[in-house]
């Protein structure tokens, strides 16, 4: 199972699906939430973070394609980005649409996952055995 998380195909596919979902959710938000400015802004913030981290997953896939000792860190980065998308963006989507304040507590956890994901992606690059530049 762990080798699946070290597969560039897995992360590029996951990133592309998440990016497409971010576009669809952005369209949904722009057509349904324009009456309440604060809800619209919160929803679009979720879409922005969702898209940026979907693109981050593409970088994870690229990093996993490099034959080196960096795949473990890249896989951890991808896992944290994925959890972050669900915890940060997902909870912000739910809060904005349903108005359920209990979902707010997951948003900071998602933010920490994003920070950890970028940290592990940087470590993955530093652990590369090949010189790409």
Domain span holding position 23: 9-126
Query: Comparing 106-110, 111-115, 125-129, which segment has the lowest mean pLDDT?
Result: 125-129
Note whether residue 21 is domain-resident: yes
Note whether residue 70 is domain-resident: yes
**Mean pLDDT of all residues belonging to the chain:** 91
Q: How confident is the model over 100-120, as a mean pLDDT?
A: 94
Note whether residue 110 is domain-resident: yes
Number of domains in the chain: 1
Note whether residue 33 is domain-resident: yes
Q: Determine the angle formed by the axes of helices 106-126 and 71-84, rounding to 10 degrees.
A: 160
Q: Which range has highest mean pLDDT (66-70, 77-81, 97-101, 103-107)? A: 77-81
Question: Phi/psi at 111 (nearest 5 deg)?
Answer: -60, -40
Q: Is the pLDDT of residue 130 over 70?
A: no
């Amino acid at each position: 199972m762990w080798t699946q998380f070290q597969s560039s195909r897995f992360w590029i596919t996951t990133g592309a699906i998440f990016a497409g979902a971010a576009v669809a959710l952005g369209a949904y938000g722009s057509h349904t939430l324009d009456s309440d400015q604060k809800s619209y802004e919160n929803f679009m913030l979720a879409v922005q973070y969702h898209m940026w981290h979907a693109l981050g997953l593409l970088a994870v896939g690229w990093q996993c394609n490099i034959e080196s000792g960096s795949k473990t860190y890249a896989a951890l980065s991808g896992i944290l980005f994925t959890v972050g998308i669900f915890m940060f963006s997902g909870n912000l989507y739910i809060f904005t649409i349903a108005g359920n304040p209990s979902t707010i507590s997951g948003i900071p956890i998602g933010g920490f996952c994003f920070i950890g994901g970028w940290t592990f992606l940087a470590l993955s690059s530093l652990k590369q055995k090949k010189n790409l530049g």
